[in-house]
Amino acid sequence: MLLQNGFKIMAFPCNQFAGQEVSWNEEIQEVACTKLKAEFPIFDKGEAPLYKVLKLEKGGLFGNGIKWNFTKFLVNKEGKVVERYAPVTAPLKIEKDIQNLLESS
């Protein structure tokens, strides 16, 4: 339902957090798409320049840094960061925020 309303998920694997993502891009795609059934774009592993913008727009508990893997950002259709979520925040916990954003657009 969310995807039909213009909502998109994007994943940016990286190796910036204790070297945990040691797989190659092909392996990451295989695991995400086949085993995890991801139905969203998974970009090549690396430092994503997008994160510089996201971090500056919406700092977290530790300022502009990203605490750990799976930090999430909710961005509106104008490209502005609406909210930032901790790595431990389950995706279903932010569904209401997503719905509210889609309804207000």
- Taking all residues of the chain, what is their mean pLDDT, rounded to a whole number? 75
The residue among 57, 60, 66, 54 whose CA lies nearest residue 17 is 66
Distance from C-alpha of 3 to C-alpha of 51, rounded to nearest angstrom: 22
User: Has residue 90 got a pLDDT over 80?
Assistant: yes
CB contact at 8 A, 41 and 93: no
The residue among 73, 25, 18, 69 whose CA lies nearest residue 46 is 25
Q: What is the CATH number of domain 3-104?
A: 3.40.30.10
Domain ranges, ordered by start, for the chain: 3-104
Longest Cα–Cα distance of the chain, Å, equals 40
Element (H, E) at 28: helix 25-30
Q: What is the pLDDT of residues 5-47, one digit of tens each?
A: 778 887 777 666 555 555 666 777 776 777 667 777 777 676 6
pTM for this model (two decimals): 0.70
Tell me the C-alpha to C-alpha distance, in Å, between residue 51 and each of 2, 31, 41, 69, 73. Answer: 23, 23, 16, 12, 9
